[in-house]
Structure 1
Amino acid sequence: MQKFITAVGAILFVIFGSLPGFSQGAPSSEAERKAELAAAWQAASNAGTAGPADVALIDQATLKLPAGDFFVPKAEGIRVMRALGNTIHDASFVGLVLGTRQNDRWLVVITYIKEGYIKDDAAKDWNADDLLKNLKEGVEESNKDRAARGFPEMEVIGWIEPPNYDATSHRLVWSVLGKDKGTPDDARKDVNYNTYALGRDGYFSLNLLSDSTKVATDKSAAHELLANLTYQSGKRYEDFSASTDRIAEYGLLALVGGVAAKKLGLLALLLAFVLKFAKAIFVAAAVFGTGVLKFFRRKPRDDSAGGPA
């Protein structure tokens, strides 16, 4: 374990040496933040699960974690996210999945929204152009709040993948390309690749964080995780009972257009979360594959059992 602490400390020095506000002459509060992030990664490594393994997702589903992936549970995942400076909605957060292969630079944030049964009948009639327009308008509206809170304004450029809903498996996938206003069009852009699995009481969101240069290959990880999520008997979409179950106040269309998030007062917070998280992760991407993530390539062990450190 001491090797883990030493190596993570060295990696964080590289990361924060390249980020504003984390210079070598940083005040003690900044040093404390670095120490907390190192401790958060250590706790994640100790508590997490390396694939292949079956991971229980609260009381709703099981995720078959592939070899090469690492699952960080709720408490430790929240600690990592907060150490990176993010505001987390504790009630919906389930965990994180990291890719730990040599060239992996992605992370999936898993949340569960228990808002009731999502009607999917609108999927057969939706229009990708109309949905994109809705998204652009939603982001423009959220920019008022972003500007008031000191975040850069954002804009949506276009689809990376237009919405695709599988009515048999009740899975939804979509992604848009966006950027900070005023940044060059050819600059590398952080990407959210959004996947959803609908159930009887709500839905899981598996949000892949990648960038525009790697999402074409990274999205296969999101598709694999989505396919590997299985609802428990009684929690499946087809287990819905119209006589007893709650129906969500919004339908499937809202999961693409942002109406649901806006209705719940989450849209502006979500966009801020994505920006802040992505910046912290991807500025450090060059050292992730050979540094922090290598400690997630094996299952945590008990140091008291002996063996090489």
Structure 2
Amino acid sequence: MRTLCLSVLLLAALVVRAGDPTDSLKREQAAMAEQLRAVDSIEKSLHYKTGTVVVGSNLATLNLPAGFKFLDSTEARLIIEDIWGNPKGQKALGLIVPANTGAVLADYAFVVEYEAMGFVKDDDADKINYDDLLIELKKDAVAGNEERKRLGMESMDLVGWAAKPYYNKEQKILYWAKEFKVEGKEENTLNYDIRVLGRRGVLVLQAVSGMSQIDSVNKQIPSIIAMAQFNQGERYADFDSKTDDIAAWTIGGLVAGKVLAKAGFFAVIMKFLKFIIAGVVLAGGAIFRFFTGRKKQEEEPAYEPATPAVPQEEPAQ
């Protein structure tokens, strides 16, 4: 049984123990069985896709290899918001998960989004010193923790690169990974990012996982990179300088979550920060609260997918 599933079951057992002085094995087993029935009920309500999947309004195509399956926008947001406990208003186009598991208990998953930021020039790709950039990012993380504390959130310390940034100029694909230490969490958090550059913006694929899964994620990165491509008219090569906007972001800016300018680094909000505190790190508690907070109307719990909130733009800081 997968790591996250074991975490959920352990949590169930601990809760039962706290309320049962006799430490009844039967009650523990019943609680675990109920958790698994609820997970199974949610999974049966999902509609996974395989093979070729078009995302957005004919924006891009995902050619899913045999080892993966896909949830569309509505059900992806359901998992991200209601199960993983992220804020409402996500803009996910979909969710890619390993084919041998379900989204609820997946050890890792790739959230798919699109950022219509304009055409990203890649002139700086060979000039970036990522060691220097990491120093700047760590300073920003310290400053960002002050704001997180003000909002009542856990602090997040950037440990370093889990995978140093790499840009494939021929394929127009950038990818990197960061390791974070989240306050109060035993396992460090993996933030794995892939950016596919297009005519009017970038396709975003971000892994949600704990650091214990980095080997599994790294093993699948070539397959993930190969599966995503913009459709005709939206490709990087389709750029028209007479009509299309140039992004304020550069290759270095995509990695930094900043706009790089002559005057230095100007911080803006890191859009995907919310995903870093999701996934394996919080899913165990979120799933338990989700299960136990529901009213039992039938012997087998049934889950009705909620309508996702309308995406809202995040304010820049």
Question: Given the two structures, how large is their TM-score scaled by the length of structure 1?
Answer: 0.72
- Given that residues 193 and 219 in structure 1 are in contact (C-alpha distance below 8 angstroms), is that contact kept between their aligned partners in structure 2? no
Partner of 1:150: 152
Give 1:213 shift.
2.6
1:249 partner SS: strand
Query: CA 1:142–1:113 in structure 2 vs 1: closer, same or farther (change >3 Å)?
Result: same
Partner of 2:314: none
Q: Per-residue displacement from partner, 1:125-167 (whole Å, max 9, x unpaired)?
A: 1001111012212222221221112211111111111111011
Provide the identity percentage.
25
- The one of 271, 287, 294 equivalent to 2:273 is 271
Structural mapping, 1:14-93, within 5 Å: 14=9, 17=12, 41-43=43-45, 45=46, 47-49=47-49, 51=50, 53-58=51-56, 59-83=58-82, 84-90=84-90, 92-93=91-92
My pick for the range that moved more, 120-129 or 142-151, is 142-151
Partner of 1:214: 213
Query: CA 1:145–1:37 in structure 2 vs 1: closer, same or farther (change >3 Å)?
Result: farther
Supply the AA of the counterpart residue of 2:109. Answer: L
- Given that residues 63 and 228 in structure 1 are in contact (C-alpha distance below 8 angstroms), is that contact kept between their aligned partners in structure 2? yes
Query: CA 1:265–1:129 in structure 2 vs 1: closer, same or farther (change >3 Å)?
Result: closer
2:125 partner SS: helix
Distance 2:117 2:228 in 1: 19
Give 1:266 shift.
3.7
Give 1:270 shift.
3.0
Distance 2:253 2:37 in 1: 40
Aligned residues: 257
Partner of 1:230: 229
1:160 partner SS: strand
Unaligned runs of 5+ in 1: 1-9, 26-33, 286-309
Give 1:11 shift.
9.3
Partner of 2:177: 175
- Given that residues 8 and 285 in structure 2 are in contact (C-alpha distance below 8 angstroms), is that contact kept between their aligned partners in structure 1? no
Partner of 2:33: none
Supply the AA of the counterpart residue of 2:193. Answer: N
Distance 1:241 1:38 in 2: 49
Distance 1:123 1:37 in 2: 44
- The one of 111, 116, 122 equivalent to 1:120 is 122
Partner of 1:101: 100
- The one of 114, 125, 131 equivalent to 1:129 is 131
Partner of 1:194: 193
